[in-house]
Structure 1
Amino acid sequence: MVQRFSITLTQLSYFAECAKTLNMTEASQELHIAQSAVSTAINQLEKALGAPLFVRQHSKGLVLTPAGESLLQETREIFGRISNAVESIQAGQNEVRGTIVVACFQTIAPFLLPQLLEKLEANHPELNVEIIEGDHDECMAALKSGRAELAINYDLSEADGVRFQIVGEARPHVIVGTGHRLAKRKRISLSELADDDFVVLNLPGSREYFISLLRLMGVTANVRYRTSSYETVRSMVAMGLGFSILNQRPRIRETYTGEQTAILEISDQVPTLHISMSTLARSRPTAKAAAVMEAVKMLLAESEQTG
């Protein structure tokens, strides 16, 4: 007996794109089809299931209903299994192909992504990688919503339904301008900066981490400037506007202003940040995700050996 279903993979793919964008117009643009086709497919899917999947808000987009949330989880599982089956067949011919979307913490991105993309192009020329950059929360949101299959992030917090794998560490360090009284030192205690102004990298999770390092050493942060830009932090510090604490280390000392910074190691025992790769716990990583994860591990291992 032939098993027939009242819903189609096309309807599910349209539904998944609407759930990702929460906007039918944007979904239709991503799918390169008319909005009316998307709307019709969603209506037919809701009729077949006997439950609304979205709350339509005029001029405000879509909101998933509980039924929609449930179907989205199952749809990801279905598409994941199909992808795994296709990739398993292709793997027999040593091919990794298709498109993968990777979310990456914005301060890790310039240090890792160029080398990562170069390595992936060399090893897997049929693999297309799309990048989403953001802070910790934005990367996790991209992963959970299905917009990204893999997230490269710091272990600033845990998230339900997400599988984490630690792949490297980024030890914190202090940066000061070359004219700072401590600039010629190799190592310092954070307590030596108790009276200095602090320029904080103002990203969710990051700012709390940096301030907590000072608090751990009994120092109250004298926050003078806040910025979400890594390079703006470095430029402000180079101009003598305060010190900062960062984790990623550029290979150059010069900033956009032409001035330079000095890197000082922290002599105190302070917590480090770990670089992690995350996937949804319910789905087995695809061959595409596995290829990216392997390349990241190799690059970070090489970096530790030369660092």
Structure 2
Amino acid sequence: MSFSEFHLLSVLAQEMNMRKAAERLFVSQPALSQRLQTIEKDWNAKLFLRSQKGLTLTPAGEVVIRLANEVLVKEEKARESIQAMDHEVYGTLKIACASIVGQNWLPPVLKKFVQKYPYAKISLITGWSSEILKSLYDGQVHIGIIRGAPDWKGHKQHLFTDMLYLVDTEMNELEQVLETDRPFIQFKSDSNYYQEIQDWWHRHFQTTPKNTIIVDQIETCKQMVFNGIGYAILPAITLHDKDQNVFKIPLLDGQNHSIQRDTWLCGYESAFQLKQVKAFEEIVAEHILTHGL
């Protein structure tokens, strides 16, 4: 099989839909169907079952797709190694980033990167820090941008620290939390972040919130606060100077020190030998020097 056929099968397995796969591959649906039939004839096995709901992998298909993905990964690594010999920055920069960082801090950094290195490509996935660590361990990405205190033994570089605030449109003192009936709005997060908030809350108030709303995204949480629905605890990375209509009360620990959240850049040492990763690291250093958080 050729690399193009491996790519075709990989896209089909990702989409599990002939129309969507054809759009991604820039071919007509009949042409894609014919190519798939030829491949299945070569393997003498049915790789996908077709129905009105889409495609389903057969056991034989799972084996062939696994092979296809392995070949494509090896091909890309070989291309990256060859491109690293050149003077220009090519190759794909694969990043896994904490969602909150991807929404608020990373975009201007990537803008500088693509402007300076137009031949490089970017693959970005976002999620919780635990998911990012798994992507690093599995070799799916070159670098991970992780919140908290990641247990990572490879290359680890501190990026920035931001404070935590209780944010509300009405309350300007922490003690008012005990008097209000408005809800405490929480967003789903990694367990260590959630536990940190819980510990602070019980240490400071010795009780639980009267009313709680839980949302799945931090941006949803922020918008609910800014619209006066309730109050929340948010990191400084989500708050900007233009946010004038809210009170931001810093969270303090038992020693009257601000409670903070760290962000780290992590990856295997071998990844930082790639030109596109080195280039990104330089852009990050330049951005932090110029803008800080």
The TM-score normalised by the length of structure 2 is 0.68
Asked whether 1:38 is paired with 2:21, we answer: no
Q: Identify unmatched segments of 5+ residues in structure 1.
A: 1-6, 184-190
228 and 194 in structure 1: CA distance in 2 versus 1, 3 angstrom threshold: same
Asked whether 1:85 is paired with 2:78, we answer: yes
Equivalent positions of 1:2-21 (< 5 A) are 7-21=1-15
Equivalent positions of 1:155-170 (< 5 A) are 167-168=157-158
Residue in structure 1 matched with residue 199 of structure 2 by the alignment? 216
- Aligned partner (choices 99, 102, 106) of residue 106 of structure 1: 99
- Aligned partner (choices 203, 213, 226) of residue 225 of structure 1: 213
25 and 171 in structure 1: CA distance in 2 versus 1, 3 angstrom threshold: same
The CA deviation at 1:278 is 7.1
Equivalent positions of 1:1-307 (< 5 A) are 7-54=1-48, 56-97=49-90, 102=95, 104-129=97-122, 131=124, 135-136=127-128, 149=141, 152=144, 154=146, 167-168=157-158, 173-177=164-168, 179-182=170-173, 197-201=183-187, 203=188, 205-206=189-190, 211-217=194-200, 218=202, 219-238=207-226, 241-250=229-238, 252-255=240-243, 259-267=245-253, 272=261, 274-275=263-264, 287=274, 290-291=277-278, 294-295=281-282, 298=285, 302=289, 306-307=292-293
The CA deviation at 1:117 is 1.9
In 1, the alpha carbon distance for the partners of 2:16 and 2:276 equals: 25
- SS of residue in 2 equivalent to 1:180: coil
| Corresponding pairs, count | 276
Confirm or deny: 8 A CA contact 1:84 1:286 kept in the other structure.
Answer: no
The CA deviation at 1:70 is 4.1
**Paired letter, 2:128:** H
Instruction: After superposing the two structures, state which structure 1 stretch, 12-21 or 75-84, moved more.
Output: 75-84
- SS of residue in 2 equivalent to 1:225: strand
> CA offsets per residue over residues 245-291 of structure 1, 9 Å max, x none?
22352462443xx6123141331598956556579xxx979947635
178 and 298 in structure 1: CA distance in 2 versus 1, 3 angstrom threshold: same
The CA deviation at 1:244 is 1.6
**Paired letter, 1:216:** D
250 and 89 in structure 1: CA distance in 2 versus 1, 3 angstrom threshold: same
Percent identity of equivalent pairs = 21
Confirm or deny: 8 A CA contact 2:145 2:265 kept in the other structure.
Answer: yes
The TM-score normalised by the length of structure 1 is 0.66
RMSD, aligned α-carbons: 4.5
Q: Identify unmatched segments of 5+ residues in structure 2.
A: none
The CA deviation at 1:108 is 1.6
In 2, the alpha carbon distance for the partners of 1:117 and 1:290 equals: 12
Q: Name whichever structure is richer in helix by fraction.
A: 2
